[in-house]
Structure 1
Amino acid sequence: MKKQVLLVVSLFFAVSASNAQQIAILKYGGGGDWYSNPTALPNLIQFCNSNIDTKINPEPETVEAGNVSIFKYPFLHMTGHGNVFFNDEEVQNLRTYLLSGGFLHIDDNYGMEPYLRRELEKIFPDKPLEELGTDHPIFSQKFKFPDGLPKIHEHDGKRPQAFGIFEQGRLVLLYTFECDLGDGWEDPSVHNDPEEVRTKALQMGANIVEYAFKS
């Protein structure tokens, strides 16, 4: 039965070829602000379309974790500051999405950590988050980051870390922590980040998009 479900969903991805390079924002329950950083993703998309030859819709749609519409998008972006909760239906939907070719980037906007790890264990109880080494291909796409994930905002002053969940060698989920790429993608007036910092954030974001679309 599981194989049949994955086959059906894989066909869903195949017939959604018109969305082969599209990104959506993941809406989740629990009270966390999934809608934070409203200018971030549009700015990243504009940067990607200009620098890595993507043709992503400049206005990303929002999809709910338990809705079949997530399968229209090969790339989901998730962010926020607080609580995250997935019910059983959402857990199954997200697991099937990721195992059948989807990619989820979770960018901790500061404060998601304990809630997120709890929910990820529900989706993949047998697949713990693994820290990506600096030699992972995601750091050497169009833009080179030999030292790994850049530090965009200080928060607790800890080093930035990129964690992943893999399925048969494929990175299906990327969790960026103590970095806050999304703040760096936002309009300059929002956080008053130096242009050099914003550029690093956008370049790393473009690497993630490029890697996900190629894998």
Structure 2
Amino acid sequence: MPKIAAPHFLVVIGFLIASISQAQEIALLKYDGGGDWYANPTALPNLVRYCNSNIGTTISTKIPTVEPQSIDIFQYPFLHMTGHGNVVFNDAQIENLRSYLLSGGFLHIDDNYGMKPYLDKEIIRLFPDKQWKELSASHPIFSSYVKFPQGLPKIHEHEGNRPQALGIFHENRLVLLFTFESDLGDGWESPEVHNDPPNVRRKALDMGANIVKYVFTN
């Protein structure tokens, strides 16, 4: 049986993603529902500076904000999303995000605390044929820069649960990563925000660099 060609839109967007993937840019995803998508304002700029200094990236420290229904998301191979509360995507946003992820984009969602119940229902809408898969400690995302033999590190305690890296895969490619019960973003923030000790911030930044390096080299 002949293989069915991809929709023209996905083909065009695929070429767009491929053409800009070398730009190594990151954008912050703004979402609806009332959750604080703007949480941890110093986190991404600090992570970017750390990556540029340690793994040779050339990412801009001026992090743009994009909305899930906008074609602008296709300019950025890496989207980051965080917050504490409710997450809602409308149908147009779901369709655009799905097209972005299936055509080469990547979304990292870092739970600042409390996102999972709201996020779960939206992920079912985004990928009704897929389920979260927990990444084992042997996954290369835990060793692309610094080795984390136990997997995702614990940065902040909330309910005492173990940290989990949950993924959505498409054709064996990790398209969406949800870091849960870890709170990496708090560890990326400037030292005076949470008064984390240097070794804790270093773990968070190293794991962030692992994610960035994995996405831009795979």
TM-score higher than 0.5 here? Answer: yes
Q: CA deviation at 1:214?
A: 1.2
Mapping of 1:95-114 within 5 angstroms?
A: 95-114=98-117
Does structure 1 residue 48 correspond to structure 2 residue 63?
no
Q: CA deviation at 1:2?
A: 5.0
Structure 2 CA distance for aligned equivalents of residues 114 and 169 of structure 1: 26
Alignment correspondent of 2:20? 16
Of 136, 142, 145 in structure 2, the residue corresponding to residue 142 of structure 1 is: 145
The SS at the match of 1:16 is helix
Are 2:43 and 2:185, in contact at CA under 8 Å, matched by a contact in 1? yes
Mapping of 1:124-139 within 5 angstroms?
A: 124-139=127-142
Amino acid at match of 2:51: C
Structure 2 CA distance for aligned equivalents of residues 20 and 144 of structure 1: 26
Aligned length: 214
Alignment correspondent of 1:182? 185
Of 144, 154, 157 in structure 1, the residue corresponding to residue 157 of structure 2 is: 154
* 1:79-125 alpha-carbon deviations (Å, 9 max, x no partner): 00000000000000000000000000000000101000111111001
Structure 2 CA distance for aligned equivalents of residues 101 and 16 of structure 1: 10
Does structure 1 residue 82 correspond to structure 2 residue 85?
yes
Structure 2 CA distance for aligned equivalents of residues 157 and 14 of structure 1: 40
Structure 2: 5+ residue stretches without partners: none
Under a length normalisation based on structure 2, what TM-score does the superposition of the two structures give? Answer: 0.96
Are 2:18 and 2:104, in contact at CA under 8 Å, matched by a contact in 1? no
Structure 1: 5+ residue stretches without partners: none
Amino acid at match of 2:209: A
* 1:26-51 alpha-carbon deviations (Å, 9 max, x no partner): 00000100000000000000000000
Mapping of 1:27-42 within 5 angstroms?
A: 27-42=30-45
Q: CA deviation at 1:54?
A: 0.1
Q: CA deviation at 1:210?
A: 0.4
The SS at the match of 1:79 is strand
Amino acid at match of 1:9: I
Q: CA deviation at 1:147?
A: 0.4
Are 2:30 and 2:81, in contact at CA under 8 Å, matched by a contact in 1? yes
Does structure 1 residue 118 correspond to structure 2 residue 146?
no
Q: CA deviation at 1:14?
A: 3.5
Amino acid at match of 1:106: I
Does structure 1 residue 201 correspond to structure 2 residue 204?
yes
Alignment correspondent of 1:67? 70
Of 7, 21, 24 in structure 2, the residue corresponding to residue 3 of structure 1 is: 7
Amino acid at match of 1:155: H
Structure 2 CA distance for aligned equivalents of residues 16 and 200 of structure 1: 29
Identity of aligned residues (%): 64
Regions of 4+ moved over 6 Å: none
User: What value does the CA root-mean-square deviation take over the aligned residues?
Assistant: 1.1
Are 2:30 and 2:68, in contact at CA under 8 Å, matched by a contact in 1? yes
